[in-house]
Amino acid sequence: MQNAQNACIYYISESPLLLCLMFGTDGFCRHAGRIARIAQAKFQYSVGVRAARLRCKPRGKRIPMPLGVSGERWGIRLLCRGKLCDTCGPQMAEPSACAVGYYLDDPCGRSRAVMPHRAQSLKIFFSAGEPSGDVHAANLIRQIQSRCPQVHAVGYGGPHMARAGCHLMYDLTALAVMWFGRVLLNIATFWRLYRKAARYFETHRPDAVVLVDYPGFNWWIAKAAKRRGIPVYYYMPPQIWAWARWRIGKMRRWVDHVLCGLPFEAQWFAQRGCRTEFVGHPFFDETCRHEGDPVFLAEQRRREGPLVVVLPGSRNQEVTGNLDVFFDACRKIYQAVPNVRFAVACFKPQHADYARPRAAATGLPIEVFCRKTPELIQLADCCMAVSGSVSLELLYHLKPTVIHYRISRLAFFVQGFFRKVKYITLVNLLAGDALAEDDLSLYDPNSPEAAEALFPEYLTCEDRSTEVASHIIGWLQDRKSYSQLVERLQQLKDRVAHGGASSRAAEYLLATLQAAPLSGPHWRRPTEGEATAGVDAAAA
């Protein structure tokens, strides 16, 4: 106890009282364990202890321990009576400090430990570059803050994250690009953002880094965080099982927790040594929650004729590469089904500005809407779409869809060497054995087995508007085949389309950041009389 004057105690929370004891020697760390044992024996409640030697000078006011008082008795008295609330005020301890605190009951009836130095405030850095990732991260932030309002979210993302309360350092969704050439054009911006994040990790040191999809840039962020000892969570990891399996080494080295949205995906990562948790796909959370604009829905339902919805994607290159093909398909569909209507669901206003003059030039009944995708999917009879997470929303609403994704000839040639799965559409992957090692053949839409795919798909460098139109015409004219496909979609939906992914991810993240579940008796805060009697008994 000769270094007692170096001890610091920080008041963290008033109800229940949580204290963090910071010790300057290894000997003091052992005294923390004695405090826990005495408190549990005398007061019948659990006290969690996490001991570690200080590596840096603590922040906050120093409270010297009185002379002639045992460390155990002094710690228990402060733990039970909260004598420091008027002296120190709320403080935050260093992450390397010893921690003494209660175990708290959660709504599920389990006893969960709370790390006192994190009970005051959590700072989490998010990085999401895709528009869909922006939505998923925003829902995760809301779920985290509903459970722990003190959480401070900061990082790179988009408008949805900003509305959820995240302090945006940069709108990364403006850089939602694919393929090497387009990335190279923005490499200076990516490097500047990486250096900015690395400096933030040095000066502010968040408690965790949460990455959402967007491989490439997020690998840099993961590496920077891991080098500084910050826990890294990958929420909705990149689909490296489909096109870049050699990157599993990066995932193991730089990512601590992988939160997967697909069951076969979680199994694949776990088999390769990653700490994995299957939480479900957050796209179903957003789909279940979004009821749509009732005025818009009512107005559209009054119109006659079947509706075919065009979903050209959220990236600029997807819109420019596929929209003309979809409009060519619309011409062919209109010739076969004269009473058909078309609607284009654009993600961004600039996409709508790009689509409107081209739609007008066709002379067809094509309407262009911006940010009405959920409503238009509900109204649609059939859809034409690019590959992406939107296919899960189409599955949820049971909409027969043709997938068309046109890329450059060079990209089409290169992808053949790296692609390791039969399909490119999530719905088709969920319907079959997505990662079957004994079936490495690629999907051929012209083969007899093509009917096995729920959504016909065309990954191509050519114009496949004729094939796309033939599927839509067949569904509109043959109601029996249409109904059979809807029935198959319903069976898959019942199996995989379950909400709650954001909630499960938030619970997992907070549990792993704060403490693991503890079995044993639940605590109750002692009365003043019990606390006084317990301290005196412990001293005796």
The ranges of the chain annotated as CATH 3.40.50.2000 are 121-286, 292-496
Whether the CB-CB separation of 372 and 290 falls below 8 Å is answered with no
Which pair of structure tokens corresponds to residue 178? Answer: 């694919």
- Residue 316: the pLDDT is 85
Question: Measured in whole angstroms, how far is the alpha carbon of residue 307 from the centre of its chain?
Answer: 33
The CA-CA-CA angle for residues 213, 266, 268, to 5°, reads 100
The domain defined by 292-496 folds into Rossmann fold (3.40.50)
- Tell me how far CA of residue 11 lies from CA of 20, 69, 81, 247, in angstroms: 7, 20, 11, 44
Whether the CB-CB separation of 454 and 492 falls below 8 Å is answered with yes
Q: Which range has the top average pLDDT, 65-74, 386-395, 422-431, 472-481?
A: 472-481
- Residue 33: the pLDDT is 56
Q: Which range has the top average pLDDT, 244-253, 430-439, 513-522?
A: 244-253
Give the amino acid at 394: L
pLDDT digits (tens, 9 = 90+) for 79-96: 443 333 333 333 323 322
Tell me whether residue 281 is exposed, middle or buried, using C-beta atoms within 10 angstroms of its C-beta: 0 to 12, 13 to 18, 19 or more: buried
- Residue 375: the pLDDT is 94
Full-prediction pTM beyond 0.85?
Answer: no
Q: List alpha helices for 56-185, DSSP H.
A: 71-81, 116-119, 131-147, 159-163, 180-185
Which has the closest alpha carbon to 523: 194, 39, 108, 45?
Answer: 45
Assigned CATH class of 121-286: alpha beta
Which pair of structure tokens corresponds to residue 343? Answer: 């609607």
pLDDT digits (tens, 9 = 90+) for 362-381: 999 999 999 899 999 999 99
pLDDT at 349 > cutoff 70: yes
Sign, CA dihedral 289-293-299-304, equals negative
For residue 346, which phi and psi values (nearest 5 degrees)? -95, 145
- What is the total residue count of the chain? 540
Whether the CB-CB separation of 47 and 116 falls below 8 Å is answered with no
Cα–Cα dist 7/39, whole Å: 20
Cα–Cα dist 369/372, whole Å: 6
Contacts of 137 (CB under 8 A, 6+ apart): 126, 128, 157, 160, 161, 164, 166, 210, 212, 235
Q: Give 155's strand partners.
A: 126, 168
Cα–Cα dist 427/411, whole Å: 23
Cα–Cα dist 305/161, whole Å: 38
Which has the closest alpha carbon to 169: 205, 196, 206, 134?
Answer: 196
